[in-house]
Amino acid sequence: MNEIGHYSACLAWFLSLFGVLAGLYAGYSSKRRWFLSVIASTTGASICVTIATFALGYLFLHDDYTNAYVWQYSNKDMNPIYKFTAIWGGMDGSMLLWCFMLSVSSFLVAFNAKSYPRLLAPWVLAVANSSVLFFLTITVFVTNPFRFLRAPFIPPDGNGLNPLLQNPYMAIHPPMLYLGFTTHAIPFAFCLGALLSGQLSNDWIRLIRTWTLAAWGFLTCGIVLGGYWAYIELGWGGFWAWDPVENSSFLPWLTSTAFLHSIMVQERKNMLKIWNIWLMIVTYGLTVFGTFLTRSGVVQSVHAFASTDVGWVFLAYLALLLLVAIVLTIYRRSALRPERKIESLLSREAFFLLNNLVLLSICFAVLWGVLFPVLSEAVTGQKQAVGIPFFNAVNVPLFLLLIFLMGVGPLIAWRRAAPSAVARTFVWPFLLALGIAILLVWAGIDEFYPVLSYALCFFVFMTLMGELHRGVRAQKVSAAAAAPYLSSAARLVKRHRQRYGGYLVHFGVLVMTVAITASMAHKFEKDFGLKVGESKTFRRFTLTLEDVHEGTTPNYAALYATVKVRLANSGQEVAVLKPEMRSYFRNQESTTEVAIKTGIREDLYLVLAGLDDSGTTAALKIFINPLQVWLWIGTLIMLVGTGVVIVPVRQPARSPALQGILETS
């Protein structure tokens, strides 16, 4: 199976190379035969990479330690699920998985390529194949996961997977993130294909809509799953630490979000053409740059699972991409001139541009924070780290500005809004938000940013509700119908599914923002010791240590604690928490298994840190994180909203009303 895997990967490399060259020739010569051949080679490459990926999975599941990668990242005692997920436990398999996802995405493009504009499609396939070719070059020539183990005998057992990665969420977080990264390669392929072919009408924007939304959804899901994994696995009570590798996935998310908003301006007003092209190029570039950060080891990170010296290859690829994009943009500059200009600062296009600028400012601030240690070392010779306070100080006000724009932008008129109409739309949400702010201060929350955050979220929520109400009212007037309010609202949402799907995403962001604000501003944490039978009270919970004992499994030795949680005022038992501390035999690593009582009001998060010298007192750490669960619920709402926007709307056949409009036009 090792030979089959390796040979399939090599064959895929040749097919991708053919796909690039034949795609460029088909685009240049407009010869359909070559175009059809590129479709076939893209499909063939995808089949070969799929075979290679499943071959590696087979080797893991069958404990084939003749393969060096399998020996390094698996052992016989591991759960079969983790044996399979060990495929992406290290650099070699991660790259193969990356190739797999990228080639499947390219296959989907090839599958539909005959329906794309003829002059654009071959170039798109050439660029998509070039991305696959780059990652296959690394997989085949640098990080080959099909290397035989160089040992005089076949080892009886493997080295085992990092214990931190033996977690169900870690099984889905990296693939989801990779999906987000790799699917962004497709909008990039259309973007560069449009530049190469000169087909710079809005066709490419229309064709990538679903791809970009799906890529954004996958990336959102991957980032939040990573946060959830950090929350339940790392034992520090938080979900986001501005770690360089977390940031590297967040950077393309920011530019992709900006792109999703600014393409609406291009579709509607034929503006921001160069801006959109570069947003997509930068987004794809940042996915490559993120991989460079993750793989090169230039920055210190908790994600040290897969650092190698291959990172510099990514940097060279990135430099080449940027060079090609710059040359093409200059070459096509006349076709990229906007047909209109922004006429008023009080217009939707101006607010969308402002939203883009804020997103890019956050992106720049995060990038600066990530690179500062590297740059400071290069300039002064001393590495100066940038910590969480820097990121929070810079980004919190920018995020709050973004929330404000999220409330105003979609509700303001295109081209030029009348100040009186703007005042009418926003006066009540503003006054109500002001009331909420005063109420919060009166209730004892006197920190500036939390109060501002809650008030802004309420402001945006009210604007969304107002927008829905105005839509329903308008529909009732135009239809002259006496339909119930709720059914009118449902009909409105169905009729304008994409618009209201977008608002649902915004609502999810609001829920997340409230949860993040609450869990940051009102968090409680405390280290403490408990003897068996002893109790201590923290906020509204009383904790009693019922038991502490040691145990072993084939994979690790563990210290187990059982802690009963009661409500302090009533004494009612609400949970039994069982935190663990594990010490894995094979790689001598220790991990904490956190115990969490999740609730709508707050999460009670308990970490077992060990036993004292006498062996009678358990060292514990408690975190009480208000509204934490709403962060995950908010993400789900965002993803549902994304799904609603993605599903294509089928317009009915030509209706009599439409026929009338067309005849009079």
Partner 1 sequence: MAVSTLFTALLTVLLCWYIMRPLIVSGEESAAARSTERGRMLARKEQLLQALKDLDLDNQTGKISTEDYIGSRSQMTSELAELYAALDSAG
Question: Which residues make up the interface to partner 1 (CB under 8 A)?
Answer: 1, 3-4, 7-8, 11, 15, 18, 32-34, 36-37, 39-41, 43-44, 47-48, 51, 114-118, 203, 206, 267-268, 348, 411-418, 421, 467, 470-471, 474-475, 477-478, 495-496, 498-499, 648-651, 654, 658, 661-662, 664-665
Q: Closest approach of Cβ 269 to partner 1, in Å?
A: 10
CA–CA separation, 657 and 372 (whole Å): 61
Q: Closest approach of Cβ 140 to partner 1, in Å?
A: 14
CA–CA separation, 482 and 319 (whole Å): 62
Q: Closest approach of Cβ 522 to partner 1, in Å?
A: 38
Q: Closest approach of Cβ 88 to partner 1, in Å?
A: 24
With 0-12 / 13-18 / 19 or more C-beta atoms within 10 angstroms meaning exposed / middle / buried, residue 65 is buried
Q: How many CB atoms lie within 10 A of CB 364?
A: 14
**Cβ-based nearer residue to partner 1, 126 or 219:** 126
**Cβ-based nearer residue to partner 1, 323 or 421:** 421
Distances (CA, A) of 309 to 76, 312, 355: 29, 7, 37
Q: Closest approach of Cβ 3 to partner 1, in Å?
A: 4
Q: 3-class DSSP state for residue 531?
A: strand
293 backbone dihedrals φ, ψ, rounded to 5°? -60, -45
**Cβ-based nearer residue to partner 1, 421 or 438:** 421
Nearest to 326 by CA among 362, 292, 356, 285: 285
Whether 33 and 163 have beta carbons less than 8 Å apart is answered as no
CA–CA separation, 626 and 225 (whole Å): 19
Q: Closest approach of Cβ 98 to partner 1, in Å?
A: 22
CA–CA separation, 195 and 323 (whole Å): 13
Q: Closest approach of Cβ 116 to partner 1, in Å?
A: 7
At CA 202, angle to CA 199 and CA 205, rounded to 5? 105
Whether 232 and 169 have beta carbons less than 8 Å apart is answered as yes
Q: Closest approach of Cβ 415 to partner 1, in Å?
A: 5
Q: Closest approach of Cβ 33 to partner 1, in Å?
A: 5
Nearest to 125 by CA among 50, 17, 194, 42: 42
Number of helices followed by number of strands (H, E) in the chain: 20, 10
Q: Closest approach of Cβ 60 to partner 1, in Å?
A: 18
CA–CA separation, 634 and 148 (whole Å): 46
241 CA to centre of own chain: 15
Q: 3-class DSSP state for residue 225?
A: helix
Q: 3-class DSSP state for residue 237?
A: coil
**Cβ-based nearer residue to partner 1, 471 or 508:** 471
**Cβ-based nearer residue to partner 1, 337 or 650:** 650
Structure-token match 């975190």, residue found: 623
**Cβ-based nearer residue to partner 1, 114 or 526:** 114
**Cβ-based nearer residue to partner 1, 213 or 545:** 213
CA–CA separation, 507 and 499 (whole Å): 13
Whether 646 and 217 have beta carbons less than 8 Å apart is answered as yes
**Cβ-based nearer residue to partner 1, 346 or 398:** 346
Give kind and range of the element (H or E) at residue 522. none
**Cβ-based nearer residue to partner 1, 46 or 94:** 46
Q: Closest approach of Cβ 112 to partner 1, in Å?
A: 9
Q: How many CB atoms lie within 10 A of CB 26?
A: 25
**Cβ-based nearer residue to partner 1, 16 or 628:** 16
606 backbone dihedrals φ, ψ, rounded to 5°? -120, 130
Q: Closest approach of Cβ 267 to partner 1, in Å?
A: 8
**Cβ-based nearer residue to partner 1, 246 or 349:** 349
Give kind and range of the element (H or E) at residue 535. strand 535-538
**Cβ-based nearer residue to partner 1, 333 or 424:** 424
Q: How many CB atoms lie within 10 A of CB 643?
A: 15
